[in-house]
Amino acid sequence: MANWKNLDTLASYNELKGVKKVNLKEVMSDESGAERVKKYSVPMAGNMAFNYAAKEVDDSVLEALKKLAEEAELAEKFEELYNGAVINTGEKRMVLHHLTRGQLGNKVEADGVDKREFYLNEQKRIADFANKVHAGEITNAAGEKFTTVVQIGIGGSDLGPRAMYLALENWAKQNGKFKMEAKFISNVDPDDASAVLNSIDVAHSIFILVSKSGTTLETLTNQSFVTDALKKAGLSSSDHMIAVTSETSPLAKSDDFIEAFYMDDYIGGRYSSTSGVGGAVLSLAFGPDVFAEFLDGAAAEDKLSANKNMLENPAMLDAMIGFYERNILGYPSTAVLPYSQALNRFPAHLQQLDMESNGKSVNRFGEDIDYVTGPVIFGEPGTNGQHSFYQLLHQGTDIIPLQFIGFKNSQIGKDVDIQGSTSQQKLCANVAAQIVAFACGKADENKNKNFEGGRPSSIIIGDKLTPAALGALLAHFENKVMFQGFVWNVNSFDQEGVQLGKVLAKKVLAHETDGALAEYSNLLNI
Amino acid sequence: MANWKNLDTLASYNELKGVKKVNLKEVMSDESGAERVKKYSVPMAGNMAFNYAAKEVDDSVLEALKKLAEEAELAEKFEELYNGAVINTGEKRMVLHHLTRGQLGNKVEADGVDKREFYLNEQKRIADFANKVHAGEITNAAGEKFTTVVQIGIGGSDLGPRAMYLALENWAKQNGKFKMEAKFISNVDPDDASAVLNSIDVAHSIFILVSKSGTTLETLTNQSFVTDALKKAGLSSSDHMIAVTSETSPLAKSDDFIEAFYMDDYIGGRYSSTSGVGGAVLSLAFGPDVFAEFLDGAAAEDKLSANKNMLENPAMLDAMIGFYERNILGYPSTAVLPYSQALNRFPAHLQQLDMESNGKSVNRFGEDIDYVTGPVIFGEPGTNGQHSFYQLLHQGTDIIPLQFIGFKNSQIGKDVDIQGSTSQQKLCANVAAQIVAFACGKADENKNKNFEGGRPSSIIIGDKLTPAALGALLAHFENKVMFQGFVWNVNSFDQEGVQLGKVLAKKVLAHETDGALAEYSNLLNI
């Protein structure tokens, strides 16, 4: 059994504070910089590598981080997690999302079944369903094929699946795998559902209602929106809607659906892209084989994350460097900057994944802690971001650690040659240039044009954004966040911080308010 | 002439540090909270109001902020700006974006013309062009009407216009103002242009090439992408493309365009949504009358921003409270949270507006400064964000100041009644609930379920997101950022921090690299 201790009780944490800081500008200049780029790299799955040459680490810092990772027993804790220990202490649950894509350790039984088999079985049921929809065996009441799939869900039922869909949409079109267009309804703002419904052919659309508990207010409200629209078109929910939910939810046995597919309480919403929550929409949009490749990429990355040696474990390394930046160097936020338009909503997914998991002030036993935890995460794709907020990243008064992602090849492969280079080459040249500009800066007598440098970044470099690469990327960040939660000794798998707002919103709707809340309700005409 | 002094040389800045801090939880509870909500509100244009009851201010703090705003001569500096002083000291230029929507002060002459008349004239030329396109007087070579408009631009030529388009798309459809669908190509990633081109009917599309200098690499590259696609379809750029550029740019006199419309060096990209940069695409998409309403909303808000009394000036008040949170209370980032799906890309626009303007480490004279400037800005629409990163906002170890935006009415007006309330009521109930949850928290013996509170927020409450409200909202934030730049004594109108990356990217493409940059280029196959 691993020892779950607060960070500041670990001897190696105090040792780490004393390790000499790296002068990034110095070490990244000249030949020393070239050597670091070759040396500080670790392979990932999906034909990718995590390169951390431009982070504020050297062999001494890495050694100290490795020692801390060992004292904090990160590898052992992951092992306990995938073997079915109750890691989610707040909700007293196992944490089993890794089992949706592979079996890393022992068989895990719960609710009287082998959970790996349960997830596999749901994956097969979804695959079978999607194949029948594509083959025209499951159709609308008029016997016509469905052409559009609409996911109704919020938070983890929206951000991850949406980011994954957008990431693979062009790849699928280019590779003959595009089966159906997907749309997403999430916000309780009625204009969200209205706009999506106005943009589709309801009679040829299949809707996926996603709510683990079956009680998410936004999602049930949007279900009604869609059911109303179906009724008005003379159609029935039971011909047009499927559910992804837990077996114990009120949705599970309802007659309102063509079919229900199951997940369970051992999979948090933000970790559910590889379960039926992502599986239904991605299998319908691109076919079950593409979803399977995506899962294989995630499973391969999970295996790397189980390596006990931090230096060979990209997720653990990334986690420990991020922790170092947050707790030792004192940087309060991190930007995620994919040089890939297809990943344009990937930062929004990571924002939930990271901030909802580790934005905590108590440890996993519910006791106060005396150190900072999860940082603010934000980001937009490059090169767009370069023409937006990079000014502050280069010359602002705070240092913001950066996480770049880049691919050698585009997904569609169509390109133009302007001024002696293709767009893809320009894209890659820009990300390479940014890393060095941030790290090394450039002195200028005109201080307005001076770049201090010393601004750390890492980059994940891949061959191409394929389903397998995307799966590996997703698993990398999930595991990074998990390891950071272990270091901070927080429970990364609950989200009690979202409850109070829900309770107060209900009071407002019931007109049971006083004080400031009554006044705000009044101003907002509720 | 105003005195431009560093913040830390102002007597009232040091006084401010000594003013007693507000216990937000305490003052927002019970009747005191209700009174604050009624009292701490100031009207905005477009049927909106800025309510700052849940910020960490009281009459003493406000008095000290007002004194500082006066010592820093914020109102006088704005007056100098709109009267044509050279406020952009880095590039030695006037700052005239306010003139694109109204005349706040004296006539401003430059380049031998009255600049208000110049902008008005371009607006009229665009209106005339858009009307002819809508009437079928300007058509493709086959005499057929254009149905789609595609903006090609990056940074300020993309984020602002895109956010504005998305903000009004549903409103326009609902109000019979929707003329043409708009799409946007921005990233140098070749998959961006390819995907947009695959999604449109090129023969019935009109393209807007937007680059002030006419030399933006991404934009010229994407121009080639589009020109190639037109050629392959047997079509010509000169029948399908217009330009928005400066009169001195190489694009201005090219034969490749149906028509060129002009802006100038006195309008920064991130401040250009009310110029032809936003004007062409919005006038084509929604008609010139909608764009004119948008400008009127911005002009009305500008007038409020010219009020010398901070307490009656919403932009100045918002700016001073934000400055107080950054420099006195020490909060490093700010979240912008619109409870409106239509504003889903508004935070991305504000991210550029704010971070590119005030992410600076030298004052407007190019001298080092000893205090922090622009914060990190991020955000997503509510209620989506509630199911994502709000966990950290409520229970994380850092305090993140919040800026809510909410409207009493939806744009489309279609709604469903579930559990006794409409979706719009649920949306508004949620934002009201969040403000109070953040400010007041809620004690719980289970520390995992405990909410400390004391987390500050403001809210802009509007009647409905109309073109006028959107214009006012845009101008509010532009002016807020401007006032903060004045307080910090930085030049908010240049962006030298984007240059080094461009220089190094060119070196990579020319294979003129060594050290780390050569290695990264190698890893990325350039």
Pairs of CB atoms within 8 A across A/B = 512
Does residue B518 belong to the interface with chain A, where contact is any CB pair within 8 Å? yes
pLDDT in tens, B323-344: 999 999 999 999 999 999 999 9
Read off the pLDDT band of B80 (50, 70, 90).
very high
Q: Three-state DSSP class for A458?
A: strand
pLDDT at A108 over 90: yes
- On whether the CB atoms of residues A315 and A334 are closer than 8 A, the answer is no
Give this complex's ipTM.
0.97
Is the pLDDT assigned to residue B253 strictly greater than 90? no
Pairing of strands A402-407, B421-422: unpaired
Question: How many angstroms away from the CA of A1 is the closest CA of chain B?
Answer: 24
State pLDDT tens for residues B255-313. Answer: 999 999 999 999 999 999 999 999 999 999 999 999 999 999 999 999 999 999 999 99
Report residue A38 as tokens.
């070759």
Q: Which 424-483 residues of chain B touch chain A by CB within 8 A? A: 424-437, 439-442, 446-452, 459, 461
**SS3 at position B401:** coil
| For testing contact with chain B, the best of A42, A341, A387, A428 (most B CBs within 10 A) | A387
From the list A38, A92, A387, A447, the catalytic residue is: A387
Of the pLDDT bands very low, low, confident and very high (cuts 50, 70, 90), residue B20 is: very high
Q: Which of A426, A502, A506, A512 is catalytic?
A: A502
Is B451–A159 a contact, with Cβ atoms under 8 angstroms apart?
no
Residue A205 forms beta bridges with which residues?
A148
Residue B416's pLDDT is 93
Q: Is B191–A341 a contact, with Cβ atoms under 8 angstroms apart? A: yes
Set of chain B residues whose Cβ sits within 8 Å of the Cβ of A516:
28-29, 33-34, 36-37, 53-54, 435-436, 439-440
Q: Is A396 on the interface with B (CB under 8 A)?
A: yes
Identify the burial level of A368 via C-beta atoms within 10 angstroms of its C-beta, where 0-12 means exposed, 13-18 middle and 19 or more buried.
Answer: exposed
> Using the beta-carbon criterion (under 8 Å), do A356 and B451 form an inter-chain contact?
no
pLDDT in tens, A319-366: 999 999 999 999 999 999 999 999 999 999 999 999 999 999 999 999
CA distance A245 to chain B (A): 17
pTM of full prediction above 0.95: yes
Q: What distance lies between CA B165 and its chain's CA centroid? A: 13
Q: Kindly report the backbone phi and psi dihedral angles of residue A80, in degrees, each rounded to the nearest multiple of 5, phi listed first.
A: -60, -40
Distance from CA of A265 to the nearest CA of B (A): 17
Contact in structure between A252 and A211 (CB atoms under 8 Å): no
Question: How does pLDDT run across B348-379, given as a tens digit for each residue?
Answer: 999 999 999 999 999 999 999 999 999 999 99
- How many Cβ atoms from other residues are within 10 Å of residue B43's Cβ? 11
Give how far B116 is from chain A: nearest CA, Å: 27
Tell me chain A's radius of gyration from C-alpha atoms: 24
Contacts of B443 in chain A (CB under 8 A): none
Residue A499 and residue B187: Cβ atoms within 8 Å?
Answer: no
CB proximity B175 to A under 8 Å:
no
| Interface touch A378/B376, C-beta < 8 Å | yes
For the four alpha carbons of B487, B493, B498 and B499, in that order, the dihedral sign comes to negative
Residues facing residue A44 across a β-bridge = A48
Under an 8 A CB cutoff, do A501 and B342 touch?
no
| Contacts A454 to B, Cβ<8 Å | none
Q: What is the DSSP string of A75-139?
A: HHHHHHHHTT---BTTTTB---GGGGT---SS--EETTEEHHHHHHHHHHHHHHHHHHHHHTSS-
Alpha helix (H) ranges present in B263-414?
276-286, 288-305, 314-323, 346-358, 390-395
Quote the mean pLDDT of chain A.
97
**Contact criterion met (CB < 8 Å) for A341 and B520:** no
Alpha carbons A178 and A174: distance in angstroms, whole number: 8
H or E, element range at A243: strand A241-246
Chain B residues with CB inside 8 Å of A389's CB? 351-352, 355-356, 359, 377
Q: Judge contact between B524 and A431, C-beta under 8 A.
A: yes
Structure confidence at residue B462 (pLDDT): 98
